């Protein structure tokens, strides 16, 4: 594996999941694989789980992890080609990224979308600039449109939880939120579940909340949440802002919050969320605190997903 930016960088999802689950059983199986190597974690936006789980994963492989909060501690970076830098940006990525590539063996980037200009966000200028200029492997810690480490974790959590008596029905449901949020987690989850291809995959959202069909193609899309939830084995709850009329909140209808009553429609489904979650807005206390909630297990699994990806990058291809 050269970079880890999307599911397209993964040749075999099940093999990568198996590797992550093997690390869960034996975290120090390859404790010297990353000896004398450094991984740089660059944050242009906040994080709790991604930052700490990736640090733990690197440490398990014997690698030194250095975190740099670019948004708070670094020079303001410019990404536009040919920019006349007479404004607030101080350093061009063309200058910064190759230097970071000399300091680190792997570079990881977290960058959120602006939610103002869809074309700019979906061009993935920030992530692609690091891929272009750093000269070392790049791992996405969430980009403007995708969150691949989260999605790998999600599939491994589903696989380790589900007793495979039938093809699982997985429902991705939109949930209310007070702020416009990126589409990244939902895009990425849809992209990975479709590529995995081992489930009956349904997406449900209010009208006007369609995601980009480059990620959802292959899923069944239903705007009636109750109909979608019927017989679900897993319900993945997530808010996202509008894609077509970009970055807006049209509806904050509390009806869309998952409740115990709606759970009765499901096959005693397990409930997933990437976290952080706004309790009693996106998901009710009763669900989050119930036996059906996988959110803590899911967040714990972030370590093993990150460890499998770093390990793949460190292991030379045969």
Q: Which residues bind ligand CP (CB under 6 A)?
A: 47-50, 142, 150, 274-276
Q: Rounded to the nearest whole angstrom, what is the least distance from the CB of residue 274 to ligand CP in the complex?
A: 4
Neighbouring residues of 316: CB distance < 8 A, sequence distance ≥ 6: none
Q: Helices marked H in the chain — which ranges?
A: 13-25, 49-60, 70-73, 93-103, 118-122, 125-133, 148-161, 184-196, 213-216, 225-229, 260-263, 285-288, 295-300, 302-314
Q: How far is CA 3 from the centre of its chain?
A: 15
Q: Which residue is nearest to ligand CP (CB)?
A: 50
> Least Å distance between CB 298 and ligand CP?
9
Pick the closer one to ligand CP by CB: 47 or 128: 47
249 versus 275: smaller Cβ distance to ligand CP: 275
The least CB distance from residue 47 to ligand CP, in Å, is 3
Nearer to ligand CP, 17 or 228 (CB): 17
**The two three-digit tokens of residue 133, written as one number:** 């200029």
Nearer to ligand CP, 47 or 251 (CB): 47
Minimum distance, C-beta of residue 242 to ligand CP, in the bound complex (Å)? 21
Q: Could you give the C-alpha distances from 317 to 29, 32, 74, 206, in angstroms and in order?
A: 19, 18, 35, 45
Task: Give, in degrees to the nearest 5, the angle at Cα 144 between 140 and 149.
Answer: 30
Longest Cα–Cα distance in the chain: 62
Q: Which is nearer to ligand CP, 107 or 274 (CB)?
A: 274
Q: Is the peptide bond before 105 cis (omega within 30 degrees of 0)?
A: no
Q: 299: Cβ–Cβ under 8 A, 6 or more apart, which residues? A: 49, 53, 275
Toward ligand CP, which CB reaches closer, 49 or 159?
A: 49
**Shortest Cβ 142–ligand CP spacing (Å):** 6
- In angstroms, what is the minimal distance from the CB of 239 to ligand CP? 13
The minimum distance between CB 83 and ligand CP, in angstroms, equals 29
Strands of the sheet containing 64-68, edge to edge, are 64-68, 38-43, 106-110, 138-140
Phi-psi region for residue 190, left (φ > 0), alpha (ψ -120 to 50) or beta?
Answer: alpha
Residue with Cβ nearer ligand CP (48 or 66)? 48
């Amino acid at each position: 594996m050269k970079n880890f930016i999307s599911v397209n960088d993964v040749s075999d999802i099940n093999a990568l999941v198996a590797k992550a689950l093997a690390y869960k059983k034996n975290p120090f199986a390859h404790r010297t694989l990353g000896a004398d190597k450094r991984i740089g974690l660059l944050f242009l936006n906040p994080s709790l789980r991604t930052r700490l789980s990736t640090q733990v994963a690197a440490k398990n492989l014997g690698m030194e992890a250095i975190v740099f909060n670019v948004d708070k501690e670094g020079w303001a970076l410019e990404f536009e080609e040919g920019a006349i830098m007479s404004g607030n940006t101080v350093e061009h990525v063309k200058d910064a990224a190759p230097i970071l590539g000399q300091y680190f063996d792997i570079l990881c980037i977290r960058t959120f979308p602006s939610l103002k200009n869809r074309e700019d966000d979906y061009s993935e200028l920030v992530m692609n600039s690091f891929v272009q200029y750093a000269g070392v492997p790049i791992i996405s810690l969430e980009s403007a449109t995708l969150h691949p480490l989260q999605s790998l974790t999600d599939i491994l959590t589903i696989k380790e939880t589900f007793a495979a008596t039938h093809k699982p029905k997985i429902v991705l449901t939109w949930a209310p939120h007070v702020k416009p949020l990126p589409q990244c987690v939902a895009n990425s989850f849809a992209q990975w579940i479709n590529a995995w291809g081992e489930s009956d995959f349904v997406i449900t959202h209010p009208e006007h909340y369609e995601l980009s069909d480059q990620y959802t193609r292959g899923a069944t899309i239903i705007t009636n949440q109750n109909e979608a939830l019927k017989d679900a084995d897993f319900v993945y709850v997530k808010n996202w802002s509008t894609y077509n009329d970009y970055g807006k909140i049209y509806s904050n209808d509390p009806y869309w919050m998952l409740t115990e009553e709606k759970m009765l429609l499901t096959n005693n489904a397990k409930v997933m969320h990437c976290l952080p979650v706004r309790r009693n807005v996106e998901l009710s206390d009763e669900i989050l605190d119930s036996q059906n909630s996988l959110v803590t297990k899911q967040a714990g699994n972030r370590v093993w997903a990150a460890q499998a990806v770093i390990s793949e990058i460190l292991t030379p291809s045969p």
